[in-house]
């Protein structure tokens, strides 16, 4: 039984391995993510903090995007480096629950539901959401949101009252994020590597240990280079997002996510 998406589990395991290695003085995490589920994001952040406690310097490098949960993870690092055109922010929490009641009524599908309590099928896709359910989910959302802004405030050393105006879900370019102290500097992945080496006190050119690339990932990288990116298929196989089968299985249950609203969760 996997508690978190496979992409998150892979990241957690890699950080853990690097934390335990005596050869590793610093870790650079390249982030290119629209966000993720609350639990998986916090688990990755926990592993980052363990690495820091073990004396490793951790630097985040933002590629195309680090939205919501992606930024949550970045904020746990010692420093954040992003390209001027990188997109980040989207600080917030979202639950999206489809309502297919009218569609099912039109095509003549009826659900017989037997449940132990009135809230067991909260946010069920076969009926409209009740006011009680909306209020309960809103309370859940705000609790997760408070955890989010508290973590960012602590990680970035930004007072809560200064952070809240920036934490309404809006996105920032790299230059805007720098102006608002959401990142530390503008630069590339190589710049992030050099910064991590400097923070760790490494003299000269650092010896880079790259994570092992799985065979499927190598295959899809080849397709990306040959035909352009194929994110939907690649992400489905590599576990970066839920497959259609998993999505159908989860339609009946609400799941909070630190995610950019127009993209699927991690």
Distance CA(158)–CA(80), nearest Å, equals 14
Catalytic entry in 33, 40, 68, 153? 68
| Spatial CA neighbour of 89 closest among 160, 46, 148, 142 | 148
- d(C-alpha 31, C-alpha 250), whole Å: 26
Cβ(20)–Cβ(51) below 8 Å: no
Tokens standing for residue 5: 């998406």
40 is a catalytic site residue: no
Q: How far apart are CA 127 and CA 140, in angstroms?
A: 21
Rounded Cα–Cα distance for residues 253 and 125 (Å): 8
Q: Which two tokens stand for residue 60?
A: 């985040």
22's CB contacts (< 8 A; 6+ apart) are: none
Question: In the annotation, is 102 catalytic?
Answer: no
Q: Which of 20, 21, 118, 120 is catalytic?
A: 120
Q: Which residues, in sequence order, are bridge partners of residue 60? A: 29, 80
**Residue 115: Cβ-neighbour burial (10 angstroms; 0-12, 13-18, 19+):** exposed
Residue 211: strand, helix, or coil? coil
Q: Which residues are catalytic?
A: 68, 120
């Amino acid at each position: 039984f996997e508690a978190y998406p496979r992409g998150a589990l892979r990241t957690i395991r890699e950080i853990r391995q690097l934390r335990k290695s005596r050869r590793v003085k610093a870790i650079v995490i390249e982030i290119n993510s629209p966000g993720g589920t609350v639990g998986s994001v916090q688990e990755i952040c926990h592993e980052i903090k363990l690495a820091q406690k073990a004396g490793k310097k951790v630097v985040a490098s933002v590629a195309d995007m680090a939205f919501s949960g992606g930024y949550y993870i970045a904020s746990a690092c010692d420093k954040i480096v992003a390209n001027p055109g990188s997109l980040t922010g989207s600080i917030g929490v979202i639950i999206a629950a489809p309502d297919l009641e009218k569609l099912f009524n039109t095509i003549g599908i009826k659900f017989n539901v037997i449940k132990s309590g009135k809230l067991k099928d909260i946010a069920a896709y076969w009926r409209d959401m009740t006011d009680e359910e909306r209020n309960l989910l809103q309370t859940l959302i705000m609790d997760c949101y408070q955890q989010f802004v508290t973590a960012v405030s602590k990680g970035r050393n930004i007072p809560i009252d200064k952070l809240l105006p920036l934490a309404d879900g809006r996105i920032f370019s790299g230059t805007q994020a720098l102006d608002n102290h959401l990142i530390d500097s503008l630069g590339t992945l190589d710049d992030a590597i050099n910064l991590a080496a400097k923070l760790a006190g490494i003299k000269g050119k650092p010896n880079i240990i790259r994570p092992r690339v799985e065979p499927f990932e190598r295959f899809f990288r080849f397709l990306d280079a040959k035909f352009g990116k194929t994110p939907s298929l690649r992400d489905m196989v590599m576990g970066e997002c839920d497959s259609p089968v998993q999505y159908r299985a989860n339609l009946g249950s609400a799941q909070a996510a630190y995610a950019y609203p127009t993209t699927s969760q991690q």
